[in-house]
Structure 1
Amino acid sequence: MTWDEQTYGREYDLDIFNIVAVDDFNMGAMENKGLNIFNSSCVLASPETSTDADFERIEAIIAHEYFHNWTGNRITCRDWFQLCLKEGLTVYRDQQFTSDMRSAPVKRIDDAITLRAAQFREDAGPLAHPPRPSSFSEINNFYTSTVYEKGAEIIGMLHTLAGDAVYKAALDLYFDRHDGDAATIENFRACFEAVMDTDLTQFARWWTDPGTPHVTVTEDWNDNGTLTIHLAQTIRAAGRDDWPARVIPLRYALIGRDGCKVQAEQLFVLDASGASITVTGLADRPILSINRGFTAPIILTQPLSNADRAILLGHDSDPFNRWDAGRVLVSELLCRMVTDGTPPDTAYLDAMLTAVRDNTLDPAFRAFLLSFPSQGETAQSLHSAGHVPDPDAIHLAHQTLKHALALHLQDHLASLYAAMSVSGPYSPDAISAGKRSLANAILGLLTRVDAGKQATALFETADNMTQQIGALSALLWNGHGEKASADFAAQWRDDRLVMDKWFGLQVALSAPENTVAIVKKLSQHPDFNLKNPNRFRAVFGAFSRHAAGFHRADGSGYELLADWLIKLDPINPQTTARVVTAFDSFRRYDTDRQAKMRAALDRIAATPNLSRDTMEMVTRILASG
């Protein structure tokens, strides 16, 4: 409440702020005026039962629903087609809040990971739609990452283009003009146009057009010290590749090969299909660091060598691009390991060793550096490069590289782990949480070389859920978790929220050849409840995200998920419609898997009295094939 007063000038207008927690609730929360409703997992927390990530998520969700008091309630939507305005603006506000409460660079990286994994996938598949759709069959199906997260990115780009002072003035004008109104995107845009004294017609395509812009960078270097940067944007979505150019704000800087910045950060606005930037007076050819801070939600293609990316990883002053350089390195390496049998790259492993030992870096940031893209993201990268992804080969590559990283760092893992210990009573503050995040990431690697000794010791002595879950995850992921898993279930069998974590871990960390059998076993567990959305998502949501387990070559994963979605639809069509999107990437796989996924979708579609929610999603997925 204080943050909203200080940052946006918005005070709460009632004497009481009521909340209610509900176990059986499809959504995370709901912002009814004066009475916010929360899924119990999004409001109830204690150190013993909740992880650091839970505390941060709860903080953000409570903030989001509270911020809706002004951006959603006092100013509401004229119609459902304006949903991305109230949600996008409020998500952006809660992202700002978390950035101020915790680490802004880490928050930005986390938001980008979420956007790339979920929203970019939507844009690239049959469920692509603009943030403001032109039509819908069931509005529940448009509570999507495109509406929420991409909607927030649009607000963020407006903030970048306007600058802090003008952004604040435009929001003040919006609140003054429309308090008590049912507003539209055009109303919101008009406030920015008035304060910025500019026409935002072209920018508005971010709201009305689908698809993720692809920006390609090429460079010309002249020995007289002139660098010319060429930028080209293309957008392909919904079967079209001729979408008009967007307005794309791009922050960039030039980095010397010694790691020092040779040109201060600049903002360039790409508003055509192509444009160029020329920089003169350079002593040596620098490395271009572009889209710093993930200024725009784009897919960037930039011809950098691995050596150049290693320099950015080690020295770029922009935390996002520093992390992204490492992300591209590991993503490309994983793809080469799958397609060419390339062994783990020593240069990448050395860069990780340097970064993880750099005590000047935020521990939470270093934990992100040690993470890999999801196996689904690797599949999408292979598909985009013209390869048919093999889920089993992708899983093997991820495991092989993780093991190679553990071996490469093994002489330093114990000391790094010890250095991240947190003394005193548990606190979910950003500094302590960052240390535990890095400690858990290191523990996952350490468990690969010490047969689970350190993880077992932590599991037995942990006094908070972050450490207990971290230890259990490390043991399960490395095949040493049978006893710890049973002990955990016995300890927490009476706590529904903690048991949701246990159910999810059994699936998410299972070996691919065992995943279907484990899901079947868990679905028969006495504590599995089809009617509880949290429990269903814990099992079948985790199953749908386990790429190698779900995409079994024999189709058993598709058959199992279809069976349970057919059972769930009469009880909870909204959750069914969301989970059925696990099939939306079926076009990227081999013909046998495609046929088996289509058969599962056809079977769902043929179910008598199938809900409108689920039928719309299945129909849209099938129509793409």
Structure 2
Amino acid sequence: MREGNAPLIRREDYVAPAFWIRTVDISFDLDPAKTLVISKMKVERNTAVPHGPLRLHGEELQLLRVLINGESVSFRQEGHELVIEAAPDADFTLEVRNTCAPEKNTALSGLYTSGGSFFTQCEAEGFRRITYFLDRPDVMAVYTVTLRADKTKYPVLLSNGNLADSGELDATRHFAVWHDPFPKPSYLFALVAGDLVAREQRITTRAGRDHLLQVFVRRGDLEKTEHAMNSLVASIVWDEARFKLPLDLERFMIVGVSDFNMGAMENKGLNIFNTSALLASPATATDADFARIEAIVAHEYFHNWTGNRVTCRDWFQLSLKEGLTVFRDQEFSMDMAAAPSARAVCRIQDVRQLRAMQFPEDSGAMAHPVRPDSYVEINNFYTATVYDKGSEVVRMYQTLVGRAGFEAGMKLYFERHDGQAVTCDDFAQAIADANPGSALATRLEAFKRWYSQAGTPHLKARGTYDATAQTYTLTLSQTNPPSPGQDSKLAQVIPVAMGLLSHEGQVLPLQLQGETEPAGTDRVLVLDQSAQSFVFVNVTADPVPSLLRGFSAPVLLDDGLTDAELLVLLKHDTDAFNRWEAGQRLSLNRILAAVRSGKPLVLDGAYIEAMRSLLRHPQLDSAFKELALTLPGEAYIAEQLEVIDPQAIHAAVDAAQNQLAHALRDDWVAAFEGNQVSGGYQPDPVQSGKRSLANLALAMLVLDAKRSGDTVWPGRAYQRFKDAGNMTDRLGALSALVNAHAELAEPALARFHQQFKDEALVVDKWFALQGRAAERDGKTFARVRQLLQHPDFSLKNPNRARSLIFSLCMFNPAAFHRTDAAGYVFWADQLLALDAINPQIAGRLARVMDRWTKLAEPYRSAAREAIVRVAAKAELSSDVREIIERALASDKAEQKEPA
């Protein structure tokens, strides 16, 4: 465990390493209790750095021997560093011998065992738990890896790159030698050894090269790998077509493991995946699982260039690879969806994720820029800001220079930096240099504030129409509230994609003052000042502005539109995202009004009719209808409030759901009946959309039945649950029963567990469903506490811990934020227990309290008491202590703010 008093690392303190490691010849004699590691490194001094000792990182290791050029050398150990004062100035060979204990490694960082096999996870700083090394991303070396192990227990021996040699050592042991010709940082190192089976496919790329693709899993899971393989092939084809980036190794391997802290890891040529992000069959995985697997397989493959061939100079540049690669996987998912409506659904889902996870982060104790300025534990900065907001920053590049311009910028980026460890500035400069004179190039320094300023900008828009002059003046202004360590901020470059509609829904041409003719019906305005006005001429009718189309910037928009104007956008906007957004805004306005007034929410007839029209609309896709008729998330609603009362928010959302369920009952019946899927299962946009709307309709009908005492729809849901031919419909029916607390929920839950008790990923769904179930009179919270004692529950498996504890604490506000503080006591108990096992997972659970200072009483005081209790624990890891101390500091900072 990394100690909780670890030093603060600051970006401004970066210096290049005193030494470079150019090649690594490393061997492993694999044994669960004691693995012998012998590393031989070609080292050279960095002449650009002042003379100093060689300092190697190492943790949880037993050091045996240190040699330079074959001779023993004196050294000392300072904390987690091995210090060699007498390192030569000339190039030399360094040999380090040590052992590690994989079976004791519950942190799942470095080399560890799972299910009788060996796996590694080296990002961010896990390689130092394998051997002593310059464990930093700017030290890139060419690796040759030799693995030796029992051939019966570990018949498969894998590492990065290409297989160079393999064979028998004796009657019981064998070996394999792997060589990766591309220099890489140590965080991209990987090895796997175990009794695994593989799905294989050979492909020939556009470049005319043949490659072997392999997906390795434990025996019994092979039939669940077809979708992952298809996704990998599609990713390879897409990246070569879209960005001219080919697969560069003889083979590409993916391996699944059930004990994994992340979703997946992009180790060069040997991607290691959490089984939850890899395995899928119609019987065990939902449509959402299939889509997630496709996206994650693509994401990790795309890292081969954006992260591996060009990597980060230091960990502050993490979004250089993660934000860029999330953007690439989002573009891939939209292209795979193909149809415009399906593409829009992808975009809406991405924005919902951003708003649910990143917007709260931007306004909490752990708020940080896309490129952070400092950290204590880098694991704490694998965040929605770095990934999802980072992706939005990359999307803004494309918006400002155009699709072709962005691809030209990517080409220049790789030409300049292939094989290097670089910075976010290097990426920005490449995109700008490839597009001289563009809106980006002329504002580059201001645009880069997206990397340095935390917080979500607030964009205000107001328009005035002059009927006599036929002009429309749109004034845009921006503010960005204070964040930890950033009290005042400069104006950012915000691209605002927009259009104008008449009140009858007609699309209006756009001609700015000074232009000789209209420039189409949609365009991008660039706000780069605190406030700017844009005057449109020849506007023949008082327009309704459609702003931030496609969510062109990650901001909070206040456009001041009335319900009538939002209804125009809901009915007529040509931009699918803004059409969805209009419906969300209509819902949000009513929920917020109820929360702020303290009065029960009563939906008005105009709103209900708008939702009915949307549900009945013959041209709208089912997937879009499901998204539009799903109410805003409680976390996003909380973001609109200065003081958060989780129970008041939940009560308003609950009331809205119940009223929509009742008022639209006949329409829900029609939607359910009209969206049944016949024929074989396919997780494509059309089938998935129908299933999503049918399941929403079923949930609404069971909810309304709970109110009326009707038994028909709960019975139909139970029958659908039993008869379903795929997991999406089965879980949808079960969710409808559980969330309505229907009497049939209990037998359904028991039946589900009995049927799938041997499918670990499905059992995770069973736990998660109960952890996220709508709270009724404390029943959900009580059930979660009981489930901690279930024989299938274990804190040691990250997936299982997330499925139950995280589901309650992170995704079920009404069950977690209790007036008796029991939720906070539960959080503290589980956090401390997790921290003793796996600090990285514990750190993520600690983030639940990021925004505790915004809570209303009595929640606020009770939350503080729980945080103080955790802070008092002497043995906290650095992962948890950094987050807890920042949470407490946010209270002090808030108290200092003037009233």
- TM-score computed with the length of structure 1 as normaliser: 0.98
1:453–1:307 distance in 2 versus 1, CA, 3 Å? farther
Structure 1 residue 620 corresponds to structure 2 residue 886:
yes
Matched to 2:887, the amino acid is I
- 8 Å CA contact 1:310–1:348 kept in 2: the answer is no
Corresponding residue to 2:647 among 365, 374, 392: 392
- Which whole-Å deviations, capped at 9, do the CAs of 1:466-495 have from their partners, x for residues lacking one? 000000001111121111111111111111
Aligned to 1:176: 415
**Against the structure 1 CA distance between its residues 241 and 262, is the aligned structure 2 distance closer, same or farther, given a 3 Å change threshold?**
farther
Q: Report the residue type matching 1:501 in the other structure.
A: K
**Residues in 2 aligned to 1:379 and 1:176: alpha-carbon distance in whole angstroms:** 45
CA distance in 1, matches of 2:645, 2:547: 32
1:148 and 2:401 aligned: no
Give the unaligned 5+ runs of structure 2. 1-235, 510-520, 706-710, 892-899
Match status 1:61 vs 2:296: yes
Cα distance in 2 for residues equivalent to 1:171 and 1:379:
38
1:193 aligns with 2:432: yes
Q: Which residue of 2 aligns with 1:243?
A: 489
Q: Deviations over 1:374-397 (max 9, x none)?
A: 2222222232xxxx3332222221
Say yes or no: does 1:541 pair with 2:806.
Answer: yes
Q: Which amino acid aligns with 1:4?
A: D
Tell me the equivalent position of 2:794: 529
CA distance in 2, matches of 1:462, 1:9: 43
Structure 1 position 194, deviation (Å): 1.2
Match of 2:737 in 1: 475
Q: Secondary structure of the equivalent of 1:17?
A: strand
- Post-superposition offset of 1:510: 4.0
Contact 1:313 1:326 in 2 (8 A): yes
Q: Which amino acid aligns with 2:488?
A: D
Picking from 782, 788, 796, the partner of 1:517 is 782
Provide structure 1 residue ranges, at least 5 long, that are not aligned to the other structure. none
Counterpart in 1 of 2:500?
A: 254
Give the CA deviation at 1:162.
Answer: 0.4
Q: Residue 666 of structure 2 corresponds to which residue in structure 1?
A: 411
The question of 1:592 aligning with 2:858 is answered yes
Match of 2:114 in 1: none
Which residue of 694, 719, 722 corresponds with 1:439? 694
Partners of 1:314 and 1:150 in 2: CA distance: 30
1:494 to 745, 751, 758: 758
Query: Deviation per CA, 1:280-300, whole angstroms, max 9, x where unpaired?
Result: 222321100000000001100
Query: Alpha-carbon deviations, 1:431-489, whole Å to 9, x = none?
Result: 11111111111111121234413312211210100000000001111121111111111
Count of residues paired in the alignment: 621
* Counterpart position of 1:567: 833
Equivalences for residues 90-489 of structure 1 within 5 A: 90-102=325-337, 103-197=342-436, 198-199=441-442, 200-224=444-468, 225-238=470-483, 240=486, 242-263=488-509, 264-340=521-597, 341=599, 342-383=601-642, 388-450=643-705, 451=711, 452-480=714-742, 481-489=745-753
Between structures 1 and 2, the one with greater strand share: 2
CA–CA distance in 2 between the matches of 1:134 and 1:412? 52
Contact 1:128–1:237 (8 Å) recurs in 2: no
Greater shift, 597-606 or 463-472, is seen at 597-606
Q: Are the equivalent residues in 2 in contact too, given 1:226–1:281 (CA < 8 A)? A: yes
Q: Higher mean Cα deviation, 604-613 or 333-342? A: 333-342
- Please list every run of at least 4 consecutive aligned residues from structure 1 whose deviation after the TM superposition is greater than 6 angstroms: none
Q: Deviations over 1:330-352 (max 9, x none)?
A: 11111122233241122221111
Choose between structure 1 and 2: higher helix proportion. Answer: 1
Q: What is the identity percentage for the equivalent residue pairs of Structure 1 and Structure 2? A: 45
User: How far, CA to CA, are the matches of 2:624 and 2:774 in structure 1?
Assistant: 27
Kept in 1: contact 2:360–2:635 (CA 8 A) = no
SS at match of 1:38: strand
Distance 1:189 1:568 in 2: 39
Among residues 33, 40, 51, which one is paired with 2:275 in the alignment? 40
Amino acid at match of 1:7: R
Separation of aligned partners in 1, 2:639 and 2:855: 10
Secondary structure at the aligned position of 1:624 is classed as helix
Deviations 1:500-535 (A, max 9, x none): 000011121142522321121010111100101011
Question: Which string of whole-angstrom CA distances, capped at 9 and with x for unpartnered residues, describes residues 141-164 of structure 1?
Answer: 010000000111111000000011
Distance across 2 between alignment mates of 1:30 and 1:189: 25
CA displacement, residues 546-571 of structure 1 (integer Å, 9 cap, x when unaligned): 11111101100000110111111010
User: Conserved in 1, the CA contact under 8 Å of 2:615 and 2:667?
Assistant: no
* Residues 215 and 234, structure 1, Cα contact 8 Å, conserved in 2: yes
Contact kept? 1:123, 1:237, Cα under 8 Å: no
SS in structure 2 of the partner of residue 141 of structure 1: helix
Given that 1:333 and 1:345 are in contact with CA atoms closer than 8 Å, whether structure 2 keeps it comes out as: no
For 2:636 and 2:622, locate their aligned partners in 1 and report how far apart those are by CA, in whole Å: 24
SS state at 2:858 partner: helix
Change beyond 3 A, Cα 1:389–1:236: closer
Give the 3 Å change call, closer, same or farther, for CA 472–136 of structure 1 in structure 2: same
- Corresponding letter in the other structure for 1:546: N
Partners of 2:377 and 2:882 within 8 A in 1: yes
**AA of the residue aligned to 1:460:** K
| Distance (whole Å) between structure 1 residues aligned to residue 243 and residue 879 of structure 2 | 37
Q: Could you say what secondary structure the match of 1:348 adopts?
A: helix
- Distance in 2, Cα, partners of 1:94 & 1:376: 25
Residues in 1 aligned to 2:715 and 2:567: alpha-carbon distance in whole angstroms: 33
* Structure 2 Cα separation of the partners of residues 246 and 443 of structure 1: 45
Deviation at 1:241, TM superposition (A): 5.1
Q: Which amino acid aligns with 2:629?
A: L
Q: Which one-letter code corresponds to 1:231 in the other structure? A: L
- How far, CA to CA, are the matches of 1:423 and 1:127 in structure 2? 48
Q: Secondary structure at the match of 1:300?
A: strand
